[in-house]
Chain A
């Protein structure tokens, strides 16, 4: 009996593909007996009847239908199978068959009557010599596997015939079987539908076979597909569909007892796999994993039950009957090994060596290490560093407890969000977890070599020549702002300077890899946590560079990886910013974290013009003790500062000159960076973001000047590296002049540390006198009212508990707050204790648990106020003078012997409020996920489970003769079976 074949073509807005397919169908040597076209497209389409004399029916169906459902529509429209001789030929719009395809398929069926499903060899549309798909199978665990690699068809797979499954398009299936099995599983609308159908075919006791002589084209990924999956389906959505299909099949195929276990494992497994996707640097797949798991767990209950019923009804053979058709593990391993070899070759090809060791980078770091150790030699063996901007760190518990939203023991205490700087301090302190303050000593000892290391790597991004990179490292290490930040103990500015070059290093690679992008995001969060005043500058740079790259086509490829760069920083800063806004101090979010220090000016560079000159030279603070220590040697401090400014002139001139040289666009970008940093420094120093005593403080210009120095240095290196080889001598001279000038300007700053006349000296673990510290060991909540006389008729008052205030306790919420809000509970007490007054301090003293009053030493101009406060306290019978130390004069509350009745005020810790715990949880989640993405595990993941360039997937456009390129054998396996 002559078989009857009904070709069912499913089309979805297929355009030219469909025309070519219908044409090819008409050209069949063995024409199908009828053709049913199911149009599930969104757009209206009038299809010409086929040129061949074949009965042609056109149906329209909902665009929502998947391939299987669309076929089902067609099958219902034709007469039911009259016998085993009725066949359905399932075609997609892009499955243009070669003329003998149907004939070959039918021939194969004639030879083996037990075959109920036959599949052709799918060839790639763009390169019809290459295989697209030729039989499918599963691993023993049920993962779908293509049997054939996407290789040049050399008949290497042609000996296969019995397979587990074939692809949907081009499948020739016995109509009765189709009806018996109820077609494709509606739970698998896009992927694995044919695989599932073929598995059920096999279990129903039929054979599935591939026919090498029947060739059909396939557009692969570019196939117009259906409304469920098409050329516009993103990589992530495709991944989600695939994962959904796999999970669905897992639930359908599992033995009944295992189904609940599988169901319970769906979401936990999805979370683990999502983390794995991060480690594999495929953040786009994270959502796919989770969405698939949730979809299957909660949306597929009905379809899984139906599918299980259908399978039970039709299954005639045990599962073991198809075991031999699965791909064995050995084969899987072999394929991975091959892919791994290919991957290594590809990765090696794209990565130029940095030449850190041979290029002099290591030597530069070693030399700066020696200089750094010498300069900070007095700090050797110290337990902590004392500098104007430094305080001791608490123990590890206190450091990590300071992170998040909770009680801050500043002033009279308040509940607030920690500065993101607390994260940095906690991380830093964890390095020397046995005594966190030592981490700052360590940082000081290693600061110079760390800066040189960062500088070298950042310089490697703009300069190819080894000596230029060394110049870059030296410039970065000897930046005046960095050395001044070190000397004054501005830890935030120091950390920002150390992290900035790495941010540049990572951000320039961010477009190429998710790992670099995540690293850049973490570094940006670190830089901003250390120096929040850089927010406007970095945000501006991010917006401009992303916009420029996004609009520059192919040259800006990968710009989407820049989009999430600010996420970790935002996660850290948004809660703080929100609280600052609520408290009415929105600018406070830009205040430098840690101790609030005024920016000093001194000597001849006072005033706005002098400040601008100093800023141009990268000097944020002209009052550094290093300059004044030179005064002893006969050079007035003002002259020394002016000299330092003049010595920076060659660098500025060279940087500006680089814009005249070839490659000006990069130099202009670097100069723009410098300008941004300069602007940040100027504007930050002209704003009021915090107060300290009677002084109003702007953001310290140092961080902005680090950014400016980065731009100047980058432009100078570009200038030195640009141009023809003939001017090599000029270039070398210029480079040496710049480096020597900067080194000369830095010399007094280095000498200050070396000679011990700097202000960063070994310090102690407490800031209050020993007597208070001793009392605090038994009563850590005991408060000390610390008064600091001001030049006007006023006092700065603060309340410190225990052995004194710590660096990790500082908060910009406190330093930006008004006195009323910050210390409202003790202003009356402070003013009256510093006056002859009839005030009764007892209730406040007891409520706030104050045991001591410390009057800080008088400074020039505050002697009168200091003496008044001292006199008033001396005359107060409630207090007895105890001692006078470097920290000031101390009085002890006489009632302390009897004990204070109340505990110190306190509040919830970071996990004590739902809001705080939730905030901390979100921040931790963001940071950990970014960290996982940043970890350089991409290579390792590729080693463990490599993925080949699977489908060449070329579609219609590449098929145009003009656009056709020579086939590139990326997957280049030469293995033939």
Chain B
């Protein structure tokens, strides 16, 4: 039956043809290129009109040492402010919560005209050394206001004072909400929301009033209306002995990768020894971590890498787990003297900063002939066990007898995560010992970095994934330019003095924007 055969054959041909066509169509569909989503839509790039440049310097150090709770300022900070080509204008800010200014100094607002050229960019920083009961070097960059910032620093346990300075250099009153997070989570206390910071004033909050007795603190500051510059002053007094002072600015916003350049370890052995002493655990080098809004995640996996500058020396790598919403100090105890770059990578966006201390031997004092400057502190050692919310085993105080040299001069410094620099930035060094710039190139491209100042211009190559250190002249405005994104921080180190502040792009609220439809 040829016709029957023909019909069946035709059907088979149709069926296999259809199936084959379907397969070809499906394979073709997988091979058809998709549009390049990376390029995105065509937007209009708009460079915001440049505006008067404004910085707030937190002003003289504060103390409550007169007894009572009244704050008093003391001393004169040296402010280095200006553009590469000229000086800037200073205007006093009204420090409303500090009734007494012993030496008459106030916080300052620094103003310069708008600038389009890097040479016109404003840079300002201040430094203040103290040798009284508040001893050490406190240096800080004068910063622009921000709507949201995190400061990972401070402690309120015995002898530690943490003062939050909120400066509003803008023309609009700011309403500020402060979030305090400790090793055991967020502190709920009245008076932390809707703190009014009028235009041209600086408010001061003692964190002990809200969270007393915490060794780990993080402070979140959110402002509405005007933009506030937040700075934290941490002072340590161990017994009667001054233990250091520092001014800490905000760290970089939460991200899964944080870089802390220029972590400067100067007296590793002395500090390690001192950290064994009771009440002196916070001499130890630590990395402070907080996963501020990791929702629905119990633990955040964090890797901390410490790489020595220019590859010289030993680094360290630590893997830790961090509970979300709790501040953790991760002790770093294996570093020799040197400058390190801390790179923190985490599974969730995380905030990071690092603390280091310098320990200098007592000053030679002719009139002071105490024979016995050593005493055994091992009995007190147990009292300062750090507590709360740590996902690792705290390396406790040593069990053996520890000898402590009375009169050792200790200073602490907080090193914050910096953030990428993609445009020319201006920064200034202050008149403080050992100014040094650390430049990190976290990317994959080699970066050619130019540092220009009135003293001349230096050009440096920074290999991908490495860092360099550049010694700078003090009290000079520099302009930093790079061919690839870099991160940078300035640090100071001297005899019993340690301080650092980040180099950040000017006016982060005025970078070019792409406007889409």
Contact = CB atoms under 8 A, between A and B. Distances in A.
Interface of A: 411, 608-609, 611-612, 615-616, 656-657, 659-662, 664-665, 667-668, 671, 675, 678-679, 682-683, 685-688, 691-696, 698, 790, 792-798, 814-815, 817-820, 822-824, 827-828, 830-832, 834-839, 864, 867-868, 870-872, 874-877, 881
Contacts of A657: 15
A870 B147 contact: yes
A686 B515 contact: no
A659 B14 CA distance: 6
16 contacts: A608-B30, A609-B30, A671-B18, A687-B35, A795-B513, A817-B517, A818-B42, A822-B517, A827-B46, A830-B46, A835-B48, A871-B148, A874-B226, A875-B172, A876-B172, A877-B171
Nearest to A664: B14
B29 A682 contact: yes
Interface centre among B14, B148, B172 (most CB of A within 10 A): B14
Contacts of A815: 517
Given A827-B44, A872-B509, 5 more contacts: A608-B29, A792-B40, A797-B515, A832-B46, A835-B48
A832 B15 CA distance: 63
Contacts of B191: none
A796 B513 CA distance: 10
Contacts of A661: 11
B14 A871 contact: no
The residue in A657, A685, A691, A827 that gathers the most chain B C-beta atoms within 10 A of its C-beta is A827
A656 B225 contact: no
Given A608-B34, A664-B10, A656 B41 contact: no
Nearest to A792: B514
Nearest to A870: B147
A875 B225 contact: yes
Given A612-B29, A838-B52, A870-B147, A695 B517 contact: no
Interface in B8-30: 10-12, 14-15, 17-19, 21-22, 25-26, 29-30
A823 B46 CA distance: 13
Nearest to B50: A838
Nearest to A694: B40
Residue of B41, B47, B171, B172 with most partner-chain A CB within 10 A: B41
Sorted from nearest, which 9 A-B pairs have the closest CB atoms?
A871-B147, A831-B46, A794-B514, A660-B15, A691-B41, A835-B48, A838-B51, A837-B48, A659-B18
A811 B199 CA distance: 46
B399 interface: no
Nearest to B22: A656
A656 B41 CA distance: 40
Given A612-B26, A665-B14, A875-B226, A838 B49 contact: yes
Contacts of A696: 35, 37, 39-41
Contacts of A675: 21-22, 25
A695 B225 CA distance: 31
B239 interface: no
A664 B16 CA distance: 11
B517 A836 contact: no
Given A793-B514, A838-B52, A875-B172, A671 B22 contact: yes
A867 B146 CA distance: 10
B224 interface: yes
Given A664-B14, A819-B516, A832-B46, A874 B225 contact: yes
Name, among A611, A679, A692, A871, the residue most crowded by chain B CB atoms within 10 Å (CB to CB).
A871
A322 B109 CA distance: 115
A691 B516 CA distance: 9
B516 A612 contact: no
A819 B43 contact: yes
Contacts of B512: 793, 831
Contacts of A668: 14, 17-18
A881 B30 CA distance: 50
Contact of B516 (A611, A667, A790): A790
A891 to B, nearest CB: 11
B227 A824 contact: no
Contact of B224 (A691, A839, A877, A881): A881
Contacts of B34: 608, 685-686
Contacts of B10: 664
Which of A668, A875, A877 has its CB near the most chain B CB atoms (within 10 A)?
A875
Contacts of A615: 29
A827 B225 contact: no
A675 B29 CA distance: 11
A659 B15 contact: yes
B509 A794 contact: no
A303 to B, nearest CB: 63
A819 B42 contact: yes
Given A661-B11, A678-B29, A682-B29, A693 B516 contact: yes
B224 A874 contact: yes
B511 interface: yes
A830 B513 CA distance: 9
Nearest to B53: A836
A212 B378 CA distance: 147
A679 B28 CA distance: 9
Given A612-B26, A668-B18, A794 B43 contact: yes
Contacts of B170: 875
Contacts of B19: 656, 659
B35 A688 contact: yes
B513 A694 contact: no
A731 to B, nearest CB: 17
B51 A836 contact: yes
Contacts of B31: 608
Interface in B484-517: 507-517
Given A874-B225, A874-B226, A864 B253 contact: yes
Contact of B509 (A611, A682, A694, A836): A836
Contacts of A693: 41, 516-517
Contacts of A686: 32-35
B278 interface: no
Given A686-B34, A877-B171, A659 B17 contact: yes
Nearest to B21: A675
B145 interface: yes
A687 B512 CA distance: 29
Interface string B110-152: 0000100000000000000000000000000000111110000
B39 to A, nearest CB: 8
Given A668-B18, A686-B32, A875-B226, A834 B513 contact: yes
Nearest to B171: A877
B223 interface: yes
A205 to B, nearest CB: 76
Q: Among A665, A696, A698, which residue has the most Cβ atoms of chain B within 10 A?
A: A696
Contacts of B511: 793, 835
B425 to A, nearest CB: 16
B148 A819 contact: no
A837 B35 CA distance: 36
A794 B515 CA distance: 6
Given A686-B33, A877-B171, A871 B515 contact: no
A616 B29 CA distance: 11
A819 B14 contact: no
Nearest to A791: B40
A794 B51 CA distance: 20
Nearest to B254: A863
A882 to B, nearest CB: 12
User: Which of B147, B170, B225, B517 has the most chain A CB within a 10 Å cutoff?
Assistant: B517
Contacts of A671: 18, 21-22
B172 to A, nearest CB: 6
Contacts of A793: 511-514
Given A794-B514, A794-B515, A868-B508, A837 B51 contact: yes
Nearest to A652: B22
A665 B114 CA distance: 76
The winner among A660, A877, A881 for most chain B CB atoms within 10 A is A660
A836 B516 contact: no
